[in-house]
Amino acid sequence: MPRPTVSLILAAALSAGAAQAAQPPIQPGYWESTNKLLSPIKQSKTERRCITPADVDKFVSGPSNRHYACTYPTKVFAGGKIALKGTCVSKKGHRVAVKGAGAYTPTSFTLTAEIATEFLGLDITGKASTDAHRIGDVCPPPETKGEN
């Protein structure tokens, strides 16, 4: 069954900020996020990501992740609160409704989202969350692959 990853929700939360705030809602730096699918299946993944000053606008205004293109007719990222409601569509045309709420600061945010889709004639709903925080001003150097 295709299912949205929690990073989809992270992208959605961050994309909501671009239309609402003149100043980016997050600070650049080294960020860690813990993404959890709470239901119908439980899974968790922690990721670290470098967000440079040049990347902030792209990061907070990106309309999709690599798997889904998302539109959010309702998106508020202001006054420390996050609210969004929209639809994400996979490259294969699979639609997922997303409704989320949370809170943010320049160095952290939390978001809980409800997701709903139809698959093989069944209505499937679930919950996911993202907790992220800035862990440093400076990003570590990229790892070099293939050196012996």
The tens digit of pLDDT for each residue in 33-58 reads: 898 888 888 999 998 989 888 776 65
Q: Is the pTM of this model over 0.75?
A: no
Q: How many helices (H) and strands (E) does the chain have?
A: 2, 7
Handedness of CA 140, 18, 131, 129 (dihedral sign): negative
pLDDT of residue 107: 93
Is 109 inside a domain boundary? yes
- Could you give the number of structural domains in the chain? 1
- Domain boundaries, position 89: 6-136
Task: For residues 24 and 16, give the distance between their C-alpha atoms in angstroms, rounded to a whole number.
Answer: 11
Is 1 inside a domain boundary? no
Report the mean per-residue pLDDT for the chain: 77
Is 49 inside a domain boundary? yes
Is 148 inside a domain boundary? no
